Amino acid sequence: MVADSYQAGTLEVSLWERSIRYGLRAGGLIVGFAIISLLVGLIWSYDSVRYPGAERQAAAPFQLRFQPTGTLSQQSAYQTSDDLPHVLGWYAQHFGLGHEMPEGENCVSMTRVGEVLFLQRSFAVTLCAYPARTLIFVNRSLAMR
């Protein structure tokens, strides 16, 4: 079956509709680029939170999670043979952590929360002292506020 069309003309889309479509695409690209940049930044800088000479714990490998609440978090665990006060001082000096809170008999936690544009950044370190080692648990997260 052959269909003949005697209509001539073009389909026109208003300038307003084209502008909205272009704006939505551009906005989607910007949001996508921002999310990818945050992921790359967290993955690229994860070694910067490692205490010098500390070994990564095999039982708790590097983890990067994105929760449905809009929070991106990274957890990692390390151990070192240095004593707790020395490790505590290093984290306090290099990351400006404060609010030392005792966590049980031989552990202490330090936190820092800050805001950048529309994001809330948090950084928490828990240190646990044992006779021959100090365990280091690091948690960093980014959340939309």
- Say if 132 falls within a structural domain: yes
Residue-wise pLDDT tens digits, 96-123: 877 677 777 889 988 888 887 777 888 8
Helix (H) or strand (E) holding 89: helix 84-95
| CATH classification of the domain holding 98 | 3.30.310
**pTM over the 0.75 mark:** no
- Say if 62 falls within a structural domain: yes
- Say if 2 falls within a structural domain: no
- Say if 10 falls within a structural domain: no
Cross-strand bridge partners of residue 64: 74
CA angle 71, 73, 75 (to 5 degrees): 160
CA 51 to chain centre: 19
- Say if 134 falls within a structural domain: yes
- Say if 3 falls within a structural domain: no
Cα torsion angle, 72, 43, 140, 138, sign: positive
CA angle 7, 11, 17 (to 5 degrees): 160
- Say if 107 falls within a structural domain: yes
pLDDT of residue 1: 46
pLDDT of 64 > 60? The answer is no
DSSP per position, 13-69: --HHHHHHHHHHHHHHHHHHHHHHHHHHHHHHTGGGGSPTTPEEPTTS--EEEEETT
Q: How many domains does the chain fold into? A: 1
Domain of residue 79 covers: 45-144
- Say if 6 falls within a structural domain: no
